[in-house]
Amino acid sequence: MAQPKAASRIDQLVAAMTVEEKVGQLNMLTADLAVTGPGMPADYMAALRAGRLGSMLNLYGADLVRQVQTVAVEETRLGIPLFFGYDVVHGHRTIFPIPLAEAGAFDPKLWEQTGRIAAVEAAAEGLTLTFAPMLDVSRDPRWGRICESAGEDTWLTARLAEAKVRGFQGQDITRPGSIAATAKHLAAYGASMAGRDYAQVEISERSLHETYLPPFRAAVEAGTVALMPSFNDIAGVPLTANVAILRDLVRGRWGFDGIMISDYNAIAELIPHGVAADVAQAAALALKAGIDVDLMASAYTNGLPTALQRGEIAMSDLDAAVRRVLAVKQRLGLFEDPYREGADALMTAERWAAHREAARDAARRSIVLLNNRDGLLPIAKAPRRIAVLGPLADSQVDMLGPWSGAGRLEDMITFLAGLRATWPQSEIEHAKGVEVDGDDVSGIAAAVALARKSDLVVLCLGEARRMSGEAGSRARPGLPGRQADLAHAILDLGKPVVVLLTSGRPLLVPWLFEEASTVVATWHLGSEAGNAVGDVLSGRWNPSGRLAVSWPVDVGQIPIFYSRLPGGRPFNPQFRYSSKYLDMPNEPLFAFGYGLSYTRFVYRNLRTSAAEVRAGDILTVEVDVTNEGKVAGEETALLFMRDPVASVSRPVLELKGMAKLSLGPGERGSVRLQLAASDLGFLGADLKPRLEAGLIELFVGPVARDEELLKASVQVLAA
């Protein structure tokens, strides 16, 4: 069918549609190239030919997508193209570190670059939308999806939101190599009760607006095409039906004009939530709240016609959602170019090689050196004999991590392979010792025998990829299986041991950090994991990664985060009736921003451009940093603030800026950061922005610990 003119296309299409075709535009079904939720794939081709399908997920490959799009454009009555979505969370074919790891680079340029690469690869395979970035502020390592997040800090997550939206969507979203971003999960999913996926959320209005919503507003202001509400409820109202947040706040006050896509089966789940009696009521509630696309619940298909007949929705409600879906298709350029011509030609051999090098760089920048007490690292001279032990030493699948797009197992560089490439002249042997999970310890003896005759042991422990991510909650996130037995057996030998800790979350193993002098957090690093680890262990790359989340001592401290409120009885070790535990410290094992280097950076001479500021002013904060070690390195300086006296109690520290600089041995540089006066304000008792007169304390340093921060202050003057 010939397409209507662009100026009136949407009006003409809506006018021409039957109710079934309108509902069809709101229906998203899955293919079977990936399993990302419950239920079996529907017969999407039958639905498409009948005009009951508007978009798809889990279908990729240029030829496959073209075949399906051809049916949509040439064989359906109205010829409306589909858009194709997929979970391109930390790479498509080239897999980058999981977001929690990449956040530890504290580098928006890197985040944007990896998003751009993922978009180009996904677009080359016919995709037009990704279900990313995930912007849930996450402070509970029991929650499996913390691995998809940028960690515990609101400001940092907002910066990642902006960078990823820019990376995915590019400067022109209609161009080959760009895909639409979907900011998810709106909102507060990271605060799921007891760290359980899909559980209820109990937070204050202040926490919602001050902690959990700002990253989504940042994504909206950066131009994200889509938003995805979360599975959870807030104050008993599921987000999928939350008019106050989705329609009144996000669409009304924020001005979001894109589409809202439900999470997988979430509309139908309004029934077990207990707010809908049947699928028609569930569909009506979601549509009225502003959900435009029903992802795999078939609730709109089965429920909206009935809801329309019962008067639970009006035709205008249905038309508004259809118009938004069509407007996004128009914005993506799909009416003019439904096949995104030229996208599949972007992936040249040179580009593939560049993407792999970028993955290696992202991986080594995401590695965090947690312990190096005996100075074992870096290993400048290749050891003669190396034992690479543990269940994760040669596991390609676990390098992928959760939500690994279309990453191919055979493309993953394991730790064993990377270390063999790093030290080709060394005799490197491998033994698993134990599986990641399970009770078989019969392999420990062989691992111990290898360790005994080696000059260096690299012990690879942690989680399998499926132990993190969606449905990956763990009440006790320690080392699974009998890995602790293997670790004790190896560490008791007294050999030089480097522990590589693979995980999607902080693992609560305080004994390991006491017994092992050298521990490296490798997270799930992606395609170039082994090569990146080889770069760090050998000293070819000086580790610069930091923790984007506090690392607890014990599960009893959770949730734990640096930006807490002071309380009326802050911790005082000399006073029994202060806020403390009797059986463990208040502080985490490793603080937000923690990460060791092979050199030593010293901060001096913190200064501000003014002693006083008023509304509308810009304040410049500068500090000198000197590399007083013997090797070159990259340092991340963090800028925090504290408002010690305000009309609403304020956190003991709040992140407000960051900057990176690279310095050679003995070299000194300066970090220059700017703050708007409004950055020194907060949400008042009425949850509206407020800048109060008074003293503001500013801190600069590498980590969220008072003793490692330089301090200055400015006076905010009354308007």
The CA distances from residue 571 to 38, 39, 137, 553, 697, in Å, are: 46, 50, 25, 17, 20
Note the pLDDT of residue 39.
Answer: 60
Structure confidence at residue 75 (pLDDT): 95
Cβ atoms < 10 Å from Cβ of 610: 12
Phi/psi of residue 356, each to 5°? -65, -40
Q: Is 374 a catalytic residue?
A: no
Considering the domain architecture, whether residues 121 and 42 belong to the same structural domain is answered as yes
**Total domains, the chain:** 3
Name residues whose C-beta falls within 8 Å of residue 201's C-beta, 6 or more positions apart in sequence: 188, 189, 191, 192, 193, 232, 233, 234
Answer yes or no: do 264 and 375 share one domain.
Answer: no
Distance, in Å, from the CA atom of 659 to the CA atom of 668, rounded to the nearest integer, reads 15
For 718: left if phi > 0, alpha if psi spans -120 to 50, otherwise beta; the answer is beta
543 — phi, psi (to 5°)? -60, 135
Domain's final residue, options 537, 557, 577: 557
400 & 470 share domain: yes
294 and 413 housed in the same domain: no
> What pTM, to 2 d.p., does this model score?
0.97
Distance CA 572, CA 633 (A): 37
Domain match, 335 and 367 both:
no
DSSP summary character for residue 658 = E
Where the chain has pLDDT below 70, the residues are 1-7, 35-42
Residue 353 forms part of a structural domain: no
- Tens of pLDDT, residue by residue over 333-353, are 999 999 999 988 999 999 999
Q: Which domain holds residue 390?
A: 359-557
Both 415 and 289 in one domain: the answer is: no
* CATH code for the domain in which residue 71 is found: 3.20.20.300
Helix, strand and coil content of the chain, in percent to the nearest 5, comes to: 35, 20, 45
CA distances 241 to 122, 146, 244, 269, 280, Å, are 31, 24, 9, 11, 13
H/E stretch holding 171: none
Q: At what angle do helices 154-169 and 108-124 cross, to 10 degrees?
A: 40
Phi, psi dihedral angles at 394 (to 5 degrees): -135, 40
Q: What is the DSSP letter of 97?
A: P
CATH number, position 617: 2.60.40.10
Q: What is the pLDDT of residues 608-623, one digit of tens each?
A: 999 999 999 999 999 9
The amino acid at 667: E
- What CATH number is attached to the domain comprising 504? 3.40.50.1700
Active-site residue (options: 140, 263, 361, 394) = 263
The one-letter code for the residue type at 232 is N
In a domain, 10, yes or no: yes
Same domain, 533 and 461: yes
600 vs 250: CA distance, rounded Å: 45
Burial bucket for residue 569 (CB in 10 Å: 0-12, 13-18, 19+):
exposed
Residue closest to 683 by CA, chosen among 340, 207, 8, 166 = 207
Q: What is the three-state SS of 301-344?
A: HHHHHHHHHHCCCCHHHHHHHHHHHHHHHHHCCCCCCCCCCCHH
Assess whether 482 and 616 both reside in one domain. Answer: no
Of 315, 345, 375, the residue that ends a domain is 345
Residues 420 and 296 in one domain: no
- Using a 10 angstrom Cβ sphere, with 0-12 exposed, 13-18 middle and 19 or more buried, the burial of residue 680 is buried
- Same structural domain, 252 and 340: yes
For 289, half-sphere exposure in the C-beta direction (CA atoms, 13 angstrom radius) is 27
